[in-house]
Amino acid sequence: MDLRGKTILVTGAARRLGRAIALELASSGAAILVHHHASPSDADATCETIRRLGVAAHPIQADVRVMGEIDALFQEADRHGPVHGLVNSAAVMVAGDLLTMSEDDWRSTIDVNLKGAFFVLQQAALRIRRAGGGAVVNIADIAGLRPWPRFPVHSISKAGVLALTQVAALALAPDIRVNAVVPGPVLKPDRMPAARWEALGRELPIQRTGTPGDVAQAVRFLMENDFITGETLLVDGGNQFASL
């Protein structure tokens, strides 16, 4: 898909990885719908940066845990014309113990990472199909392939995102392609010491950590390549092999 003149919705686009993805797609000529939950100033700043690239950008606030707010998100998106693509990037990551996590803990993660991704994809696909076809990229996590015991619900949610990708790729073909990107260590957690982050990179086969731009370029590739669907692309510096 040629991204020039297309409109792409990127969820969680105000900050961090979602912002990098939004900027990369905008650099390809796509207008961006910059979704955020509770970061209006960051969303405005991201939109301003995108507009300086010569394309349109519009901030849209919504809590993707809530069905009514997903509906409102797309009502606002419809004001800006056809939607040609989606990047499902909004996510939360909460640590916990499998034996003590509560129903609220479960919901707080599943409702964003999986329920939100599912119903945002559903609404986006209806619009992408009306626009003549396009592409979806879901942002998963290495935890969906190699579960992390300290993040049980997060791991489960991201495994679900990978299953959602494959189901949607089959259900929406041939006019909508659906793929997933699995980031490895590309963005240091706020509370992680720099020395630990650098050590983590040295443990990878490629012997360094990545950047949000590495993931953003992978998303762009999957958006543009019209012969790839149902694929899971790992952007992880060989992390999947690190313990072998």
pLDDT at 240: 74
SS3 85: strand
Establish if 195 belongs to a structural domain.
Answer: yes
Quote the mean pLDDT of the chain. Answer: 96
Establish if 215 belongs to a structural domain.
Answer: yes
> At a CB cut-off of 8 Å and minimum separation 6, what does 195 contact?
none
Output the six-digit token pair for 223.
Answer: 């958006």
| pLDDT tens-digit map of 152-186 | 999 999 999 999 999 999 999 999 999 999 999 99
pLDDT at 191: 85
Establish if 244 belongs to a structural domain.
Answer: no
| pLDDT tens-digit map of 127-140 | 999 999 999 999 99
pLDDT at 244: 43
Establish if 181 belongs to a structural domain.
Answer: yes
Establish if 141 belongs to a structural domain.
Answer: yes
Q: What is the pTM of this model?
A: 0.96
Establish if 169 belongs to a structural domain.
Answer: yes
The answer to whether the beta carbons of residues 83 and 127 sit under 8 Å apart is yes
Total domain count, the chain: 1
Q: What is the C-alpha separation between 109 and 194, in angstroms, rounded?
A: 27
Establish if 72 belongs to a structural domain.
Answer: yes
Flag residues of the chain having pLDDT under 50: 244
Cis omega (within 30 of 0) on the bond before 174?
yes
Range of the domain at 214: 7-235
- Amino acid identity of residue 67, one-letter, is M
pLDDT at 78: 98
Q: Is the dihedral of CA 125, 184, 116, 156 positive or negative?
A: positive
What CATH number is attached to the domain comprising 102? 3.40.50.720
Looking up tokens 């942002």 gives 139
Per cent of the chain over pLDDT 90 is 95
Establish if 241 belongs to a structural domain.
Answer: no
